Amino acid sequence: MKNMKLSRILIWSILLISGCDSPKMIVQPPVEKTQPEIPAPAILPQGEMTKVGLLLPLSGSSKGIGKQLLNSAQLALFSFSDHKLELLPKDTKGEPGVALEQTKELLNDGVELILGPLFAVEVDALKGPALAKMVPIVSLTNNVDKAGQGVFVFGFSPDMSTDAILNFARKKGYRNFAALLPSGPFGKRLGESLLKFSQNNELPEPIIIYSDQNSRSWEFELEKLKTQKVQVLFVPEGGAKVIEVATYMKETGLSHIRLLGSGQWDDPVVLSSPIMQDAWYPTTRKGQREWFNKKYEETYGEKPQRLASLAFDMVSLAIVLSKDSNGGQPFTYQTLIRPQGFRGVEGLFKITPDGTTQRELSIFQINLDGVKEIGVGQN
């Protein structure tokens, strides 16, 4: 990648600072590496630095997304011109044992906050040492069961996404729900959420179908919906799976049932498929995320994966809190759960007292000419 000249850009609404103007930001693209190396710390302003650890899988089977998350973190770091944050990246290889050892090194180096790791199983490994040192963890996992005891879950919550789309459909008059869910703990969790949602809203009991990854038994089960009173079918899985389901429904006379999805649908493969026309799915608004996607591609020469923006928002959050600390401890329970929240490239988000992250979600409809925002996914 050719080196680019430093460019000054002014971003409105990158992070919400109560009573303050948005910060001036400088973007400096790092030199592209042929191997996923951990870069040397960025050149930062002189003075006392606030150290923050960053745990990512930079080698192993998940090194692709790990590298993109690191790129996004660097992009955030270079986007603020006057911070005093020192980011210390460490490679976990996606393995709990390695994550634990890297965490111990970071704690010995004096970090005041740990960002990452990516996987829930890694969180279990490092939570003890971090808690002993009173160092919070803002993890990229979306497993809300890991929240609490100093761990804050920052990933896109499937529970929140499910609640958003189901509530929107209910408000539009839909009462008879069915769902096609993956077998396993994740699908079971969503099934329990759907049952609870129906009970709380005095709706008929939903029809829930579980499907093994390598089986097409779901076709037989969907066929039964012809004799059932079903208005909508919730299919949280994205990619090729939901396109297969939509195609089958059209071919077998089930296209009158509206498809509802999750944030996993926010994928060009799904959104560009004509078979998905009129389906609804929840996601964050695209304004600032489009800025991020463009800036990332200009800087690194590739399109970012959906999760990459989370690293940008995490590092930006750390910068804002370190700037607002006024010499005090920047990363505490109270500073992280501040009521006004933060605004990032994924929109407004709030870290809640239970350690989960709430985000503003909008509902989009897939059309032949693109997607259209049709409402908000609020309770």
285-321 pLDDT, tens digit each: 877 888 999 999 999 999 999 899 999 999 999 999 9
Helices then strands, each counted (H, E), the chain: 11, 17
Average pLDDT rounded to a whole number, residues 28-39: 36
Residue 42 has pLDDT above 70, yes or no: no
Please report the pLDDT score of residue 377 as a whole number: 76
- Please tell me whether the peptide bond between 206 and the residue prior to it is cis, using omega within 30 degrees of 0: no
> Band of the pLDDT at 68, cuts 50, 70, 90?
very high
Please report the pLDDT score of residue 325 as a whole number: 75
Average pLDDT rounded to a whole number, residues 188-216: 94
Q: Of 3.10.20.440, 3.40.50.1820, 3.40.50.1370, 3.40.50.2300, which CATH number belongs to 7-155+307-336?
A: 3.40.50.2300
Tens-place pLDDT, residues 269-278: 999 999 999 9
Tens-place pLDDT, residues 110-122: 999 999 999 999 9
> Band of the pLDDT at 196, cuts 50, 70, 90?
very high
> Band of the pLDDT at 49, cuts 50, 70, 90?
confident
- 43 or 348, which is more confident: 348
Distance from C-alpha of 252 to C-alpha of 232, rounded to nearest angstrom: 16
Cβ neighbours of 68 (radius 10 Å): 22
Eight-class DSSP state of 134 = T
Could you tell me which CATH number the domain at 158-283+361-376 has? 3.40.50.2300
Residue 358 has pLDDT above 60, yes or no: yes
Please report the pLDDT score of residue 297 as a whole number: 96
Q: Find tokens 């490679």 and name the residue.
A: 91
Average pLDDT rounded to a whole number, residues 351-361: 94
Residue 376 has pLDDT above 80, yes or no: yes
**Every domain of the chain and the residues it spans:** 7-155+307-336, 158-283+361-376
- 2 or 129, which is more confident: 129
Tens-place pLDDT, residues 150-178: 999 999 988 889 999 999 999 999 999 99
Question: Percent of the chain scored above 70 by pLDDT?
Answer: 87
Residue 148 has pLDDT above 90, yes or no: yes
What backbone phi and psi angles, to 5 degrees, belong to 239?
60, -145
Please report the pLDDT score of residue 47 as a whole number: 54
Please report the pLDDT score of residue 356 as a whole number: 95
Give me the chain's average pLDDT, please: 87
Please report the pLDDT score of residue 280 as a whole number: 98
> Band of the pLDDT at 83, cuts 50, 70, 90?
confident
- 379 or 214, which is more confident: 214
User: 127: which 2 tokens?
Assistant: 């939570």
Instruction: Let me know if the fold of 7-155+307-336 is the same as that of 158-283+361-376.
Output: yes
Helix (H, G, I), strand (E, B) or coil at 254: coil
Record the pTM. Answer: 0.80
Beta strands in the chain (DSSP E): 7-10, 24-27, 50-56, 85-91, 113-115, 137-139, 151-153, 177-182, 207-211, 232-234, 258-260, 280-283, 342-344, 347-351, 357-359, 362-367, 370-376
CA angle 287, 26, 63 (to 5 degrees): 70
